[in-house]
């Protein structure tokens, strides 16, 4: 009887994903109808050490992305206005005034040396040139690292950049105040030159249209407190989040290249925290950079940073030449 049954037709299977997938060519097509607000001089100024971003990358990748983000901000403003209209019967009495719209917060995450700082700076520059987002500010979570003295006291000197090396409560307080509509919110400043928090120095955020928050661990899920209960995560205060991704072997190579550039540049200054490394020869410096990556940055990437990638709204996938090859956008 089995031979009399019709054969089952093979069917193609499609892997379902919460992300909309774009290759570089498809994403770049979106840029054709959008004007280019940056010049070659702007791109040169915004480029990070070792990053090879150029005008083509800005035009094809970041021009559509900045436009998409400006549309999201405009949609949030429209949502806020609808809320005001809905509650207008109550606000007329003066008892329940609708609060002013709070800043639209964008998180940018990714590994050390992957180029997330350049991504954040380019987006800040481009978004500030869109009509509905003229005031865009940027902070990095480096400012919320514990000072070196505190890290040493806690036995975390070799864990700098890991989640426990940050003053998470202070960062959460900062974002809570931003999203509460505070007129001014201050954040500490970190110096890569001295490798430490600058005593008494602060950056002030004054209710911008958009605030970009860039850092290694900004997409970390909440962690249990002493009572075992989960608290808030940094990303709970984000309206949109971006993860900059590349293969680990690519990032390792970029990290070593950046270290070598710094050895010949910033490390040569006598007051640099890393001045002692400037005297190393090429082989010694390359070996040391690889050792630092393998013992600190790679474990942090593997254990903490990379697992948070799936929590992002948009993922930029980079190739060995630092250019974005693929874009994933979370479906609405």
Q: β-strands 314-318, 185-191: how paired?
A: unpaired
Question: For every residue of 32-54, which 3-state class applies, written as one string?
Answer: HHCCCCCCHHHHHHHCCCCCCCC
Q: What is the pLDDT of residue 113?
A: 95
Give the residue numbers spanning the domain of 137. Answer: 19-75+99-330
Residue 51: name the closest of 62, 43, 59 by CA.
43
Q: What is the pLDDT of residue 313?
A: 98
Task: Confirm if 55 and 43 have CB atoms less than 8 A apart.
Answer: yes
Average pLDDT, the chain: 90
- Report residue 131 as tokens: 């009509």
pLDDT tens digits, 26-75 = 999 998 877 767 666 776 776 665 567 788 898 899 999 999 999 999 99
Residue 81, domain member (yes or no): no
Between CA 78 and CA 304 the distance in angstroms is 36
Q: What is the pLDDT of residue 130?
A: 86
Residue 88, domain member (yes or no): no
CATH number (domain holding residue 224): 3.40.50.300
Residue 85, domain member (yes or no): no
**Integer angstrom CA distances of residue 243 from 166, 257, 310:** 19, 22, 9
Q: What are phi and psi of 228, to 5 degrees?
A: 85, -5
If one counts the domains in the chain, the total is: 1
Residue 12, domain member (yes or no): no
Residue 51, domain member (yes or no): yes
Q: What is the pLDDT of residue 47?
A: 64
285: Cβ contacts below 8 Å, ≥ 6 apart: 259, 260, 263, 277
pLDDT tens digits, 118-157 = 999 999 999 998 888 889 999 999 999 999 999 999 999 9
**Integer angstrom CA distances of residue 316 from 96, 125, 226, 247, 283:** 42, 18, 36, 12, 33
pLDDT tens digits, 69-104 = 999 999 999 999 998 889 888 877 777 777 889 999
């Amino acid at each position: 009887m089995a031979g009399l049954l019709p054969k089952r037709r093979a069917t193609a299977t499609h892997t379902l994903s919460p992300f909309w997938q774009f290759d570089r060519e498809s994403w770049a097509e979106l840029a054709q109808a959008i004007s280019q607000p940056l010049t070659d001089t702007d791109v040169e100024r915004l480029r990070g050490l070792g990053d090879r971003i150029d005008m083509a990358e800005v035009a094809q990748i970041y021009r559509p992305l900045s436009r998409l983000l400006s549309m999201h901000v405009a949609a949030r403003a429209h949502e806020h206005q609808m809320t005001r209209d809905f509650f207008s019967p109550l606000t007329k009495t003066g008892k329940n005034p609708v609060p002013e719209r709070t800043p639209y917060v964008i998180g940018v995450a990714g590994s050390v040396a992957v180029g997330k700082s350049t991504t954040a700076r380019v987006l800040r520059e481009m978004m500030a040139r869109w009509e509905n987002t003229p005031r865009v500010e940027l902070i990095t979570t480096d400012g919320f690292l514990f000072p070196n003295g505190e890290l040493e006291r806690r036995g975390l000197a070799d864990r700098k950049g890991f989640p426990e090396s940050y003053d998470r409560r202070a960062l959460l307080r900062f974002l809570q105040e931003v999203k509460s509509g505070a007129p001014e919110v201050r954040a500490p400043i970190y110096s890569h030159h001295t490798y430490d928090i600058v005593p008494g120095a602060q950056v002030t955020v004054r209710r911008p249209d958009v605030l970009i928050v860039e850092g290694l661990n900004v997409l970390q899920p909440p962690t249990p407190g002493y009572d075992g209960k989960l608290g808030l995560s940094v990303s709970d205060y984000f309206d949109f989040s971006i993860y900059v991704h590349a293969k680990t072997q690519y990032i390792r190579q970029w990290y070593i290249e950046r270290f070598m550039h710094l050895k010949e540049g910033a490390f040569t200054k006598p007051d640099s925290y890393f001045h002692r490394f400037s005297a190393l020869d090429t082989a010694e410096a390359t070996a040391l950079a690889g050792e630092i990556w393998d013992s600190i940055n790679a474990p942090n990437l593997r254990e903490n940073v990379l697992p948070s990638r799936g929590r992002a709204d948009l993922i930029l996938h980079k190739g060995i030449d630092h250019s974005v090859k693929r874009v994933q956008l979370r479906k609405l």
